[in-house]
């Protein structure tokens, strides 16, 4: 009787193991910018993607510069980032392929409602020059993220060197939400993508310490795109799964989900795949 019980137990264990193996999902590893994670967008989209494809999406949210480096190092299969210039360099170098634009929002400069530097309503170049003249505290991510890359380009557009050695220029080396909080503590300014600002605004129950002061400039356009890591450079990457993710994100269903994703009734990203 004992032998029969043991045999039955072993058989059941084997059946359960086989069933588990049969149910196991393919796993897709992604490196992405902090805004897609901080806003909750990926938490919204990932279960839908898994339901439609059977692929388990796992991601690391870091600055775009570091995300691109993870691609070069073959640490992930796919990238979802927002630094077009840097992305094109990766494509030209053969490190990434199948770059596909998916959605956009815009960058904004935020600061105290009292606006001690007086930049409200200015064009972005004029605002950058004003910070330098009035020494209004400006908090930079300083982390080579897509947002940081854009900010550095704005100092250049204003005809100025990045004020790295000035005491009013604070490099946090942190993500966007953390940098916003540093700026709020110092009564200073920072630049953020609008989606992350809306998330911050929601966290503050609609009464944030920092308000949008500079916006609407064409140069503040913020494009997000996906790219597959090139299997010719990284033979072990799951290129087929990456392609399925990119195609799904560009699909009508996913594009609608992106458009419908809102906080406090505000749209965080605008889909533009195929445009």
The answer on pLDDT for 211 being more than 80 is yes
Burial state string for 194-226 with b = 16 or more CB within 10 A and e = fewer than 16: bbbbbbbbbeeeeebbbebbbeebeebebbbbb
Q: How far does Cα 171 stand from its chain's mean position?
A: 19
Alpha helices in 192-237 (DSSP H): 194-203
Looking at the structure, tell me whether residues 110 and 152 fall in a common domain. yes
Predicted TM-score (pTM) of the model is 0.89
CA 188 to CA 5: how far, in whole Å?
71
Residue 201 lies in domain: 106-220
The answer on pLDDT for 161 being more than 50 is yes
Q: Which of 64, 57, 60, 52 is nearest to 96 (CA)?
A: 64
The answer to the question of residue 275 being in a domain is no
The answer on pLDDT for 6 being more than 90 is no
Pairing between β-strand 26-32 and β-strand 55-61 as defined by DSSP bridges: parallel
Looking at the structure, tell me whether residues 180 and 191 fall in a common domain. yes
- The pLDDT assigned to 40 comes to 97
- The pLDDT assigned to 7 comes to 45
Tokens of 255: 């594009």
pLDDT one-digit tens code per residue, 27-46: 999 999 999 999 999 999 99
Label residue 275 by pLDDT band (50, 70, 90): confident
- The pLDDT assigned to 5 comes to 46
Label residue 208 by pLDDT band (50, 70, 90): very high
Looking at the structure, tell me whether residues 80 and 167 fall in a common domain. no
CA atoms within 13 A on the CB side of 274: 8
Domain count of the fold of the chain: 2
CATH number of the structural domain spanning residue 189: 3.40.190.10
DSSP state of 230: P
The answer on pLDDT for 13 being more than 90 is no
The answer on pLDDT for 62 being more than 60 is yes
CA 46 to CA 252: how far, in whole Å?
16
Tokens of 197: 């600002």
Alpha helices in the chain (DSSP H): 2-23, 34-38, 41-53, 64-72, 84-92, 124-134, 146-157, 176-186, 194-203, 239-249, 252-260
Looking at the structure, tell me whether residues 32 and 166 fall in a common domain. no
Q: How many Å is the Cα radius of gyration of the chain?
A: 22
- Average pLDDT (45-52) is 98
Looking at the structure, tell me whether residues 123 and 145 fall in a common domain. yes
- Average pLDDT (165-194) is 97
The answer on pLDDT for 17 being more than 60 is no
């Amino acid at each position: 009787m004992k032998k029969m019980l043991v045999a039955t137990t072993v058989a059941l264990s084997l059946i359960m193991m086989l069933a588990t193996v049969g149910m196991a999902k393919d796993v897709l590893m992604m490196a992405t910018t902090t805004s897609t994670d901080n806003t909750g967008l990926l938490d919204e989209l990932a279960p839908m993607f898994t339901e439609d494809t059977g692929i388990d999406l796992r991601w690391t949210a870091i600055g775009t510069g570091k995300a691109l480096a993870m691609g070069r190092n073959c640490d992930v299969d796919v990238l979802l980032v927002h630094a077009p210039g840097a992305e094109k360099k990766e494509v030209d170098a053969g490190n990434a392929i199948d770059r596909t634009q998916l959605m956009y929002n815009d960058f904004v400069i935020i600061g105290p409602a009292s606006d001690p530097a007086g930049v409200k309503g200015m064009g972005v170049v004029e605002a950058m020059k004003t910070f330098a003249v009035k020494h209004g505290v400006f908090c930079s991510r300083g982390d080579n993220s897509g947002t940081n890359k854009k900010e550095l380009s704005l100092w250049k557009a204003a005809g100025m060197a990045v004020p790295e050695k000035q005491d009013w220029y604070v490099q946090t080396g942190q993500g966007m939400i953390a940098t916003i909080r540093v700026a709020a503590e110092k009564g200073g300014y920072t630049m953020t993508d609008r989606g992350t600002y809306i998330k911050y605004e929601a966290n503050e129950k609609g009464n944030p310490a920092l308000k949008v002061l500079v916006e609407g400039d064409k140069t503040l356009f913020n494009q997000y795109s996906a790219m597959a890591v090139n299997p010719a450079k990284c033979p072990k990457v799951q290129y087929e799964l990456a392609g399925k993710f990119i195609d799904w994100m560009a699909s009508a269903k996913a594009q609608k989900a992106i458009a419908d994703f809102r906080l406090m009734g505000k749209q965080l990203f605008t889909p533009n795949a195929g445009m």
